[in-house]
Structure 1
Amino acid sequence: MAGDFFILMKHELIITVIIFTLLLLKIGSDLSNKSLLNLVNGLLLLNLAAGFIGNQPGMLFNEMFLTNPLIVLEKNILSLGTLIVSLQSASWLKQHEHVAEFYILLLCTLLGMFFMISAGNLLMFYVGLELSSIPLAAMANFDLGKRKSSEAAMKFIISSAFASGLLLFGISLVYGATGTLTFSEMASHINGSPLHIFAFVLLLAGFGFKISVVPFHLWTADVYEGAPVAVTSWLSVISKGSVLFVFISVLYTVFKPMAATWYNMLFVLSVLTIFTGNLFAIRQNNIKRFLAFSSIAQIGFILVGITGSSQLGTASLVYFVLIYVFSNLAAFGVVALVSALTGREQVSDYKGFYKTNPVLSWVLTIALFSLAGVPPTAGFFGKFFLLLSGAGKGNYVLITIAALNMIISFYYYLRIVKAIFMDANEQPIERLTIPGYPKLAMIICVAGIIVTGLVGYVYDYIHSLSFGF
């Protein structure tokens, strides 16, 4: 029994050990920022490697904690993204006086995400969600001397509190209507009554805030702009990815009997989210706000895939999140380096970027092509499988709207590429030296964009682990 506990909760226990190690080092040691960064990145690499070794399915605490091969894969994707974010943040953190505190907060959020993904009970899910959300507000305010950073933290915590309130209200109604908090027992009690529909709407609103679905997206751009780039990339990729993993699991298991009802809701929300994300991305001048609305549009495409309610729906979501980790973090890696070394974050600053920084220009361009869905990058295959999943319901109106919006997105992604390669700039960004850790992160991201798209085994493996109905 003790052996099962350590094996099944391996991911959570490793992260907990790393957190306590950092706490002890903060109290009793005086390591330099460089040494601390080396140590943490080494520990995160070990954490990633351990995630692929000695896993087994099972449950603990009367189904409050579950694990299976798909959940293990989802946790490993988040661990990989965490390592990449850490590598990218090296240039910024070297100048910061609170490196240990940053990593403690970061790993606490990751620990909460792991518990949330493994939750087989609504209360366990909510505890994991709060553990993953509250430290993020402190991280958003980590640029202590900048007013925008404090404003971002305030907006995030208020929005998060409101979303949590809606979720708790929905959870209480579900419990009152079904008499259980365990996911495996709820489906048999859900029948699509008005009370069940109202409870689902509240839960959907709570999830919508966390993943920036329109009309619950209003906090996103301001928080992305005000937070440090490392935190923005974490919010955009890791935080949203973890909530999406739970969201599709809840839809496909707990609310399976209400599939026809929530399909119509997701249809409307996906169309609104794609249109809003695309239209607002076109007019953004700040690169972080641009990527914020880009991420909102990407969530719309993910909702299209979720409507498929099939094994393909689960596989396409997990596959797209993996691609999104590489694509979005590649873009944010360049933005983070430029911001840390020059402080410049406007789209106009990237005019003529290729003349002074050709390597960074190509990394950013490949990332933008993948986000746009330009073949043969992985983003094309990711969106193709999402649309294919959505087409499984036979609603070709939704697929046509999504496909047309892909064409619209080409405009604003290529606008950045045009600025990089074709526009002139009287004061271009100077030639930047790429430090070792950010360079390694960019190599991983670019390799991931290419490999996950061209090597069919990656998708086939994810599909073999997936579920649907």
Structure 2
Amino acid sequence: MDFGNLLYLKEEISLILVMVLLLLFDLFCTGKIRRYFQLTACVLMAVHTLIHLDPMPDGQAFGGMYINSPILSVVKTILNVGTLIIFMQARNWLSRESTSIKRGEFYVLTLSTLLGMYFMISSGNFLLFFIGLETASVPMAALVAFDKYKHNSAEAGAKYILSAVFASGLMLYGISLIYGTTGTLYFEDIPAGIDGCPLQIMAFVFFFAGMGFKISLVPFHLWTADVYEGAPTSVTSYLSVISKGSAVFVLMMILVKVFAPIVEQWQMMLYGLIVLTISIANLFAIRQQNLKRFMAFSSISQAGYLMLGVIAGSAQGMSALVYYVLVYLFSNLGVFGVISIIEQRSGKVRMEDYNGLYRTNPRLSIVMMLSLFSLAGIPPFAGFFSKFFIFMSAAGEGFYLLVLLALVNTILSLYYYLLIVKAMFINSNESPIATFRSDNYTRVSLIACLLGVLALGIFSMIYDRISLLAFGL
């Protein structure tokens, strides 16, 4: 192998360098210098994101196991931005006496999962894909159980790792069947050996079931609400946005590249799963009073909308998917940022606790409201345009009824998102959450989310740029 090809891994190498620097900071910096740990982590992550804004050209390494293209670099950059926002929003939580000593572990574990997602996204072989998947999953279990002395966090960690192990086992069995029937693990070579025999259909079902657990599609979603509720809020937001967004994108890449010969079969299966995922998640979200469980079912519903881009199986579907992930990132992290800061300052996470929030914390209420409007797809916010493009991509492939059912569910989702808005602005409360000031890190992160929600729908050149890169695949 030409060692010059290692330059295609510059994003992974840069991320590893950030991890090493943070590890050294954690090991050797003591006393007053440690107060700059948060700043150091955010600056390093920001530098890592900025130096890779220019998409990488097409290329490959390790004999085709690792591939790169401009659209893959864009997805990695989106994940970097989300991770940076989560680092800023974790300020209050990491400053607690019980957590401050472990903040180094938080940064390294989070970046380890991000590195695994990098390898998943750039994999051209099922072996590298599975290595990336496990690199992302195992540290995530540690993050979920980060507050290990809290019963809910320890329980959430156990549920997550058991679900992840089961999903990985199913997926690995499916991959073994693919290898057994085609004789290769390379994405480019597998389609030539796929003839739609029952064993290969079974291989696809096992593989998809494993990915369904990672994405929280119905009926593989049962772990999601408990894990989201028990995990620290910053970890929950990471799970709901970064982990989900990367997994859906990778699933689309594999379906389009590897399982193209049986496209009719997997589109038929996705059709039913999308309807079930959006509908069931919306119905369960209405019943939730704990906001973290509420956002868990919201994220399951959003996963169903993301799958509309996957079922399209086209370059337009891919560009709509990437744009949707970008908008979803700012919208969802805006909501979780408000939930996190209120939880840290008051310990309250129930919907009834937000009654009258506008009276005491009007700015947080406005950020929460606009982010929820974006998630619901209300114009002129960015979420409206992301839903429009993803509906258009599915309709362009003839899935008119599916798009109609998704639109009906959008109306239902609007109802339960407005329940929170009603609580903050209309419902009365004799003892509302006290007035407080957010720290600077959280304030900057919420401003970034608010700008993303407002600006992404206005500046259409962002979607146009993503579309050009997607059609260039």
Code of the aligned partner of 1:155: K
Partner residue, 2:259: 255
* Alpha-carbon distance, 1:26 to partner: 2.5
State whether residues 55 and 74 of structure 2, in contact with CA within 8 Å, keep that contact through their aligned partners in structure 1: no
The alignment yields a C-alpha RMSD, in angstroms, of 1.3
**Does the alignment pair 1:338 with 2:342?**
yes
- Tell me how far 1:305 sits from its aligned partner: 2.5
1:374 equivalent in structure 2: 378
1:294 aligns with 2:298: yes
Over residues 159-208 of structure 1, what are the superposed CA-to-partner deviations in whole Å (9 max), with x where a residue is unaligned?
00000000100000000011000001111111211111110001110110
Q: How does 1:174-185 map to 2 (within 5 A)?
A: 174-185=178-189
Residue by residue over 1:26-49, the C-alpha shift from the partner in whole angstroms, topping out at 9 and shown as x without a partner, is 322225553110110010000100
Q: Which amino acid aligns with 2:158?
A: M
Does 1:11 pair with 2:15?
Answer: no
Q: Tell me by how many angstroms 1:310 deviates.
A: 1.4
C-alpha contact 2:55 2:71 (8 A) present in aligned 1: no
Query: Could you tell me which residue of structure 2 aligns to residue 208 of structure 1?
Result: 212
Question: Does the 8 A contact of 2:171 with 2:210 survive in 1?
Answer: yes
Deviations 1:220-271 (A, max 9, x none): 0000000000000000000011111110100111111111100110000000
| Conserved 8 A contact 1:34-1:94 | no
Higher mean Cα deviation, 362-371 or 10-19? 10-19
- Give the whole-Å Cα distance in 2 for the aligned partners of 1:468 and 1:172: 31
Give 5+ residue unaligned stretches, structure 2: none
Whether 1:39 and 2:43 are equivalent positions in the alignment is no
Match of 1:70 in 2: 71
Q: Percent identity?
A: 47
Inter-partner Cα distance in structure 1 for 2:302 and 2:29: 43
1:115 to 119, 123, 145: 119
- 1:310–1:468 contact (8 Å) kept in structure 2: no
- The residue aligned with 1:237 is 241
Instruction: Give SS of 1:62's match.
Output: helix
Secondary structure of 2:135 counterpart: helix
2:417 is the alignment partner of 1:433: no
For each residue in 1:396-436, what CA deviation from the matched residue of structure 2 results, as whole angstroms up to 9, or x when unmatched?
Answer: 22111111000011110001000010001122111121111
Alpha-carbon distance, 1:467 to partner: 4.5
Deviates more, 1:385-394 or 1:131-140: 385-394
User: Of the candidates 342, 348, 351, which is equivalent to residue 352 of structure 2?
Assistant: 348
Listed one character per residue, the Cα deviations across residues 32-84 of structure 1 (whole Å, up to 9, x for unaligned) are 55311011001000010011247332100011111110010010000000000
- Which residues of 2 match residues 353-432 of structure 1 at below 5 A? 353-432=357-436
Secondary structure of the residue aligned to 1:424 is coil
**How far did 1:3 drift?**
4.0
The match for 1:61 is 62
Please tell me whether residue 82 in structure 1 is matched to residue 83 in structure 2.
yes
CA distance in 2, matches of 1:289, 1:261: 33
SS in 2 for 1:9: helix
Aligned length: 468
- Partners of 1:425 and 1:41 in 2: how far apart? 37
Residue number among 444, 450, 459 corresponding to 2:448 in the alignment:
444
> Contact 2:5/2:60 (CA < 8 Å) preserved in 1?
no
Give the partner amino acid of 2:451: A
> Could you state the TM-score of these two structures normalised by the residue count of structure 1?
0.98
Residue in structure 1 matched with residue 103 of structure 2 by the alignment: 99
Match for 2:372: what amino acid? L
Would you say 1:466 and 2:470 are equivalent positions? yes
Partner-residue secondary structure (3-state), 1:454: coil
Matched AA of 1:24? L
> Could you tell me whether the CA contact under 8 Å between 1:313 and 1:468 is conserved in 2?
no
Match of 1:141 in 2: 145
Q: Which moved more, 1:426-435 or 1:228-237?
A: 426-435
1:393 alignment partner AA: E
Distance 2:262 2:271 in 1: 14
Question: Out of 269, 273, 288, which is 1:269 matched to?
Answer: 273
Code of the residue aligned with 2:108 in structure 1: it is I
Write the distance in 1 (CA, Å) between the matches of 2:279 and 2:410: 10
Q: Is the 8 A contact 2:160 2:227 kept in 1?
A: yes
Larger deviation, residues 50-59 vs 61-70? 50-59
Task: Report the Cα offset of residue 394 of structure 1.
Answer: 1.9
Which sections of structure 1, spanning at least 5 residues, go unmatched? Answer: none
